[in-house]
Amino acid sequence: MPFEELGGSEIMKRVNASRVFTALSLLLMPGVSFANELSAGDTAWMLTATALVLFMTIPGLSLFYAGMVRAKNVLSVMMQCFAITSLVTILWVLYGYSIAFGGEGAYWGGLSKVFLRGVGVDTLSGTIPESVFMTFQMTFAIITPALIVGAFAERMKFSAMLWFMAIWLTIVYAPIAHWVWGDGGWLGNKGILDFAGGTVVHINAGIAGLVAALVLGKRKGYPRTAMPPHNLALTVVGASMLWVGWFGFNAGSELAADGTAGMAMAVTQIATAAAAALTWMFAEWIGHGKPSVLGIASGAVLDSWPSRRPRVRSGPWVRSPSASRPASVPSLPRPRSNVHSAMTIRSMCSVCTPSVASSALC
């Protein structure tokens, strides 16, 4: 029937039918999401990813570091990671989240969300609750300062470490997180891309760790005193936990359960297993005649954390993947002259475990 011959009521009926058909089509189309509407799938995945990232710090990172220090400092390193988790959690709730994600601004997000003001049960951030987004970003803020612990392990007082981490989180991490990820951040506006913390977490922690190591200076007693790893089994267990948690870190950064998150998970597994762990193991095997458990564990983890990458080689405490550490550390002979002292130091350095001689633990 020609349009001119239709009555007003007939036209409205056809328009309403068309609207209903369009709405039903959109609802039935797979993969269609609507802004500012809660997605149960995205929320479930982000809850899981948040737990995985927290799992990376406690117990993953604390065990990874604890195995590489001396026996007398194992609890010290684990205590530092545990205390950082608690401290950053409170500071993030008080003002850290607001500075990083509170609002628009070139250099900081303001104080509009101090004490989580405005973050309620029904508040959304994209397709997930804002409370989930806030907690996910909190786990990033927790693990970043915990990474720095490896730069001054065994060399900083506990109270000084707490002050340093609190100040660093306030004036360094939170503002830089806003620069890159926050609304209106000046680095983000310049096109800087940071999918899973390459700038905010890794470069940030690496520079802070380097500066802290330079300020503190050389380790007392090294290299005259042997400082072998306490228990490499703890290091391997911690590295394994970091490997598993990395899926939440990388794939969770998509903030959705979609194809990009799936690809990030696949790339994480492939890069960690092939490009990192095996490459490091074979390089060590070719260069030093045998692989080591510390080498393959460090390669798997430090592929994504270059700020803590040690040089690994064989020694009496790291002989092969199946070798165990001797029950006692060989004692060093008392030097009888300057020449003998220099020879002793060179001999000890040639057999000392590389993690001790690296910038992270030396």
Cα distance between residue 222 and residue 244, in whole Å: 34
Domain boundaries, the chain: 40-262, 269-323+331-357
Q: Which CATH architecture has domain 40-262?
A: Orthogonal Bundle (1.10)
Predicted local distance difference test score (pLDDT) of residue 227? 85
Query: Phi/psi at 124 (nearest 5 deg)?
Result: -110, 150
Predicted local distance difference test score (pLDDT) of residue 154? 86
Residue 77 has pLDDT above 90, yes or no: yes
Stretch 157-162: mean pLDDT, rounded? 95
Residue 172's pLDDT band, with cuts at 50, 70 and 90, is very high
Residue 13's pLDDT band, with cuts at 50, 70 and 90, is low
Residue 166 has pLDDT above 90, yes or no: yes
Predicted local distance difference test score (pLDDT) of residue 221? 81
Stretch 258-283: mean pLDDT, rounded? 89
Of 150, 307, 144, 152, give the one whose Cα is nearest residue 214: 152
Cα distance between residue 362 and residue 213, in whole Å: 9
Cα distance between residue 252 and residue 198, in whole Å: 14
Predicted local distance difference test score (pLDDT) of residue 148? 95
Instruction: Give the residue, 306 or 5, on which the prediction is more confident.
Output: 5
Query: Phi/psi at 351 (nearest 5 deg)?
Result: -115, -5
Output DSSP code: residue 60: I
Of 124, 118, 127, 143, give the one whose Cα is nearest residue 50: 143
Residue 18's pLDDT band, with cuts at 50, 70 and 90, is low
Stretch 239-244: mean pLDDT, rounded? 94
Predicted local distance difference test score (pLDDT) of residue 82? 97
Residue 343's pLDDT band, with cuts at 50, 70 and 90, is very low
Residue 181 has pLDDT above 90, yes or no: yes
Predicted local distance difference test score (pLDDT) of residue 321? 34
Residue 86 has pLDDT above 70, yes or no: yes
Residue 10's pLDDT band, with cuts at 50, 70 and 90, is low
* pLDDT tens sequence across 306-340: 333 333 323 323 333 333 333 333 333 333 333 33
Output DSSP code: residue 217: -
CB atoms within 10 A of CB 4: 5
Predicted local distance difference test score (pLDDT) of residue 315? 32
Residue 217's pLDDT band, with cuts at 50, 70 and 90, is confident
* pLDDT tens sequence across 105-151: 999 999 999 999 999 999 999 999 999 999 999 999 999 999 999 99
Of 301, 310, 360, give the one whose Cα is nearest residue 152: 360
Predicted local distance difference test score (pLDDT) of residue 74? 93
How far CA 77 is from CA of 68, 122, 243, 325, in Å, comes to 10, 39, 20, 21
Of 177-181, 281-285, 356-360, give the lowest mean pLDDT range.
Answer: 356-360
Predicted local distance difference test score (pLDDT) of residue 324? 37
Two tokens, residue 337: 């002259």
- Dihedral (C-alpha) 51, 52, 58, 61: value to the nearest 10 degrees? -160
* pLDDT tens sequence across 26-53: 444 444 444 579 999 999 999 999 999 9
Average pLDDT of the chain is: 79
Predicted local distance difference test score (pLDDT) of residue 332? 36
How far CA 349 is from CA of 200, 226, 323, in Å, comes to 35, 9, 20
